[in-house]
Amino acid sequence: MEIEIKIDPKLDLVFERATTIPVEKLWKGWTHPETLMKWFCPKPWRVTDCRINLRAGGEFFNVMEGPNGEKVDNHGCYLEVVENRKLVWTGMMTKGFRPAPANPMGFHFVGTILFNKTDKGTSYKAIVAHADEEGRKKHETMGFQEGWGKAFDQLVELMGGK
């Protein structure tokens, strides 16, 4: 049965794609640190460190580095893990559901990735929920669709699909 989530267009950004890559490979891309590091950040940025403790309350940590020496540490916490189906995490908390300090970007979000198996591969949907419209707009203006699109293309290329 397909997992669906109610979208609030004022607060949520949605990124959706159909791909020939099977759900198991996309799941590995999201949950295996060495694999995630290969695609998660649009080039020329790259992920230089990653820790994943794949359970509700477990740590999701990664470091993004830019071409001019920029460095961003992303501390997060998984909220829900349904193998090959659904992954929910947030930067509002660090491991063990500990509240995180304010985000320098000025907004926090909860990300949900839905992996739905299809005849041809996977229907992939990311829902990124914000606390208010201001946060959603800021994230949108920062280039959400372009960034998530480039990263996803890198994942598809890595897995040898289309």
Catalog residues that contact a copy of itself under the rule CB under 8 A: 5-6, 8, 11, 56-57, 79-80, 88, 90, 92-93, 96-102, 108-110, 112, 129-132, 135
Task: Output the smallest distance, CB 73 to a copy of itself, in A.
Answer: 16
H helix intervals, the chain: 23-31, 33-36, 133-141, 144-158
Contacts of 159 (CB under 8 A, 6+ apart): 21, 25, 26, 29
Instruction: Select 56 or 142, whichever has its Cβ closest to a copy of itself.
Output: 56
Q: Which is nearer to a copy of itself, 62 or 90 (CB)?
A: 90
Residue whose CB is less far from a copy of itself, 40 or 78: 78
Q: How far is the CB of 112 from a copy of itself (least distance, A)?
A: 8
Sheet with 71-82: strands ordered across: 12-19, 122-130, 109-117, 86-90, 71-82, 59-65, 46-52
Nearer to a copy of itself, 2 or 80 (CB): 80
